[in-house]
Structure 1
């Protein structure tokens, strides 16, 4: 992360300057995951397409609303807890949303996502070469706002749906407004509290600006989508385990055929390849962080690889190179001291 002195110093950077009006570059999914810590979110992140990843996250704290802008050159999966009092309004603004998904469901054009009341988890994918705006706010505060203006009926809609099919003009208006607020947060030309109220008004307009039935999209997950999410969660939680397909199927109570077909439908790869990429991502994150290696009492590339279940040096080195387009030793050499 070029805007910070290193992953281990992100929290220190927060305390020194705050995050409103800040922009950070990242070069790995693990660095993006670390950046989400700045806004109080614990997400696991996984690079899904091979290559040298480059991205940027801009953060603006606008009263009761945190506004994020994320650009990425590669497809990324984010998975984790969003908290009990949290809703989001999220859009893809560059027109590069072919791989954008929310809970394994593809995002349609001009759609808005993330506002379901009571949803405790987050699971979404960012497309390569995309620009995503993501707002975070308290569901309780937003409900108070709706009730103040006599819009309690919207709460019921938001309890059933996590997505909304918007109009092109409304979608474009939201993107322009988000970009305006991001840019002005850098130069402090707008009052944060005023901007937060402005965003709440924009959210209400988005929720009410339609004349078609079925504008809200009910949130429905299939068993296969849930199975993929469970596999991803297990993979990040047990990243040091080197298991086989039979053991995974037993732990997830799924047949081989169902598990293989489910992951290929959702991510275009099989379950074992998915778990291998998660372990490679964990290796990448540890190689980039001296603090993590120190905590785990690991020093060399070989030690880190073995820690995450890679026994063959040659197999590991090839797989790492194929995913990240650089050798693990190069990643280690670029890590901040």
Structure 2
């Protein structure tokens, strides 16, 4: 998933938040005019990345279920478009178990121009300070069906897909907006995850992490709890397990860091105790690390 998002310029961090065997489906479509993603997940998953200023991220829970998707720690309402705020520098989605989501990445300038043309002045005002817009149920259903049709048949995408989307997303089809409950510490969580991705946290305790992030210990703990439902040390542990998981599945004979043994990979990411590591890995991914290693491509 991270590699696919990187192909369109997003440096995403993906974390499996719940332990167990992750089942579901991930679909991805990218063209010169837009990108579409669909994620069905049996377990909680978090995706965070810096936004690209030229794109708007519009997310839809396919069946319009409330509270199975969170954006910046805030549950998405039934039949809402999420992620539409013009003021955010980062996107941060959490998909809870049973979620089925499609995300459309649309050119921002096209979207703003089409809203002006199609009578979306109130929508534009809401997008300045809100991150969810509430669609009529029928408009939501029709828009989701349109996006899924394009994913199934990319040749059906029109030359101006943003205009087709905005015909179902304007002042006539939007009922209102959800007040944005800003989680002010989300930047700390992003910075913590960025540190972990660089391997710059090994051996640091909470006070040292807070000092590295120029924040208080309390702010760091509260930020992680509000956004991810766990403490910062647990976030970093899950991240390291995910790094091990990807390294075990990846096989590139030309790579200087191609995995040779499970223990070597575990040690590279800071796991020293073989027994504790294997048990934690199994709780997280539903299998022993050796089983993942045998699956490597």
Instruction: Establish whether TM, by shorter chain, passes 0.5.
Output: yes
Query: Which residue does 1:90 correspond to in 2?
Result: 59
Cα pair 1:240 1:309 within 8 Å, conserved: no
Instruction: Please state how far the C-alpha of 1:210 moved relative to its aligned partner.
Output: 5.1
In 2, Cα distance between equivalents of 1:37 and 1:227? 22
Q: 1:272 aligns with which of 233, 240, 244?
A: 233
Q: Is residue 174 of structure 1 aligned with residue 143 of structure 2?
A: yes
TM-score (normalised: structure 2): 0.87
Query: Which residue does 1:163 correspond to in 2?
Result: 132
Instruction: Please state how far the C-alpha of 1:125 moved relative to its aligned partner.
Output: 0.9
Q: Which deviates more from structure 2 when the two are superposed, residues 124-133 or residues 58-67?
A: 58-67
Q: 1:247 aligns with which of 204, 208, 212?
A: 208
Query: Which residue does 2:280 correspond to in 1?
Result: 319
Cα pair 2:281 2:288 within 8 Å, conserved: yes
Q: Is residue 200 of structure 1 aligned with residue 163 of structure 2?
A: yes
Query: Which residue does 1:68 correspond to in 2?
Result: 37
Query: Which residue does 1:100 correspond to in 2?
Result: 69
Q: 2:19 aligns with which of 40, 47, 50?
A: 50
In 1, Cα distance between equivalents of 2:203 and 2:167? 48
Structure 2, unaligned runs of 5 or more:
none
Instruction: Please state how far the C-alpha of 1:62 moved relative to its aligned partner.
Output: 6.4
Structure 1, unaligned runs of 5 or more:
1-31
Cα pair 1:65 1:137 within 8 Å, conserved: yes
Cα pair 1:240 1:308 within 8 Å, conserved: no
Question: Structure 1 or 2: larger helix share?
Answer: 1
Query: Which residue does 2:243 correspond to in 1?
Result: 282
In 1, Cα distance between equivalents of 2:65 and 2:253? 34
In 1, Cα distance between equivalents of 2:250 and 2:230? 28
SS at match of 2:281: helix
SS at match of 1:193: coil
TM-score (normalised: structure 1): 0.77
Q: Which deviates more from structure 2 when the two are superposed, residues 146-155 or residues 33-42?
A: 146-155
Query: Which residue does 1:18 correspond to in 2?
Result: none
Report the CA distance shift for 1:180/1:253 in structure 2 as closer, same or farther (over 3 A). Answer: same
In 2, Cα distance between equivalents of 1:233 and 1:296? 20
Cα pair 1:85 1:139 within 8 Å, conserved: yes
Instruction: Please state how far the C-alpha of 1:61 moved relative to its aligned partner.
Output: 4.7
In 2, Cα distance between equivalents of 1:94 and 1:221? 26
SS at match of 1:35: helix
Report the CA distance shift for 1:292/1:242 in structure 2 as closer, same or farther (over 3 A). Answer: farther
SS at match of 1:70: strand
Q: Which deviates more from structure 2 when the two are superposed, residues 63-72 or residues 108-117?
A: 63-72
Query: Which residue does 1:77 correspond to in 2?
Result: 46
Instruction: Please state how far the C-alpha of 1:80 moved relative to its aligned partner.
Output: 1.1
Aligned residues: 297
